Amino acid sequence: MLNAICSTCGTQYAATDRPPLRCIICDDERQYVGLAGQQWTTLDQLRGSYKTIIQQEEPGLTSFFIEPRFGIGQRAFLVRTDAGNILWDCISLLDTSTIDQIRALGGIAAICISHPHYYTTMVEWSRAFDNVPVYLHNDDAEWVMRPARCIQFWESETKPLPGGITAIRCGGHFPGGVVLHWPEGAGGKGALLSGDIIQVVPDTRFVSFMWSYPNYIPLNAATVERITAKVEPYSFDCIYGAFPKMTVRSGAKESIRRSAERYIKAIR
């Protein structure tokens, strides 16, 4: 029996005697099956060929990503608070060195994930840290490929987490798409960890919004307006996007307003 991992999206599946024929996540129009066809790997194989890069983004915030790039290529974050640390999003690779470094930083009290493309090996992460809860929005429950007791679904528009952190359901890219507000980030000015729900783009003065990023399918104007309205009540000066170096370092709230106006003007 093995827990197969899709090589294109990095999602880990429930244990079977052979890999599934297809990855359900990649068959969806928001993702894709690689040009070489459906490919699978395992966590042990990843540990032999890849490594985790760990970076301190600012005091209290550490990021993790895989080199060479694997799957979608996103980064995960450890947000440290006096009330317990939050792991935001997941990456497929989890090795002993990473576990030891996280434990040295105070461990993990809970895991919260923005959307199904970053569920990856969330059950492995939970088990490595004493079966901590994994909080997923119930609107995306159908995309869990490896069910486990550690997964806890929530249904409201916001979810309070330790340290004054708030998960905010914005929808858009996925119905249960979530961003994380960290009030102590950016030197106390507040930071938003946005995953793919509000995507920081290479011109880091701006962000963008899409239903499908690899297939270039946009969201409509009403949805973009709803996403921006969801984060408007919160104070933040910085946005940490899904990918390494994709960070709006200052003026982030105005960046979202300006980007939404530009986006809506373009699609209209």
In the block, residue with structure tokens 């003026």: 251
Domain coordinates in residue numbering, the chain: 5-267
What does the pLDDT read at residue 164?
A: 97
Per-residue confidence at 18, pLDDT binned at 50, 70, 90?
very high
Task: Please report, rounded to a whole number, the percentage of residues in the chain having pLDDT higher than 90.
Answer: 100
Instruction: Give me the pLDDT at residue 200, please.
Output: 98
User: DSSP string spanning 87-144?
Assistant: EES--S---HHHHHHHHHTT--SEEE-SSGGG-TTHHHHHHHTTT--EEEEGGGGGG-
Task: Name every residue whose Cβ is closer than 8 Å to that of residue 186 and which is 6 or more positions away in sequence.
Answer: 58, 236, 237, 238, 250
Q: What is the pLDDT of residues 227-237, one digit of tens each?
A: 999 999 999 99
Class of domain 5-267: alpha beta
Residue 225: both structure tokens together = 């307006």
pTM for the predicted model, two decimal places: 0.97
Q: What is the rounded distance in angstroms from the CA atom of residue 152 to the CA atom of residue 141?
A: 10
- Average pLDDT of the residues in 122-142: 98
Which spans in 14-84 are helix H? Answer: 24-27, 43-49
- What pLDDT was estimated at residue 77? 98
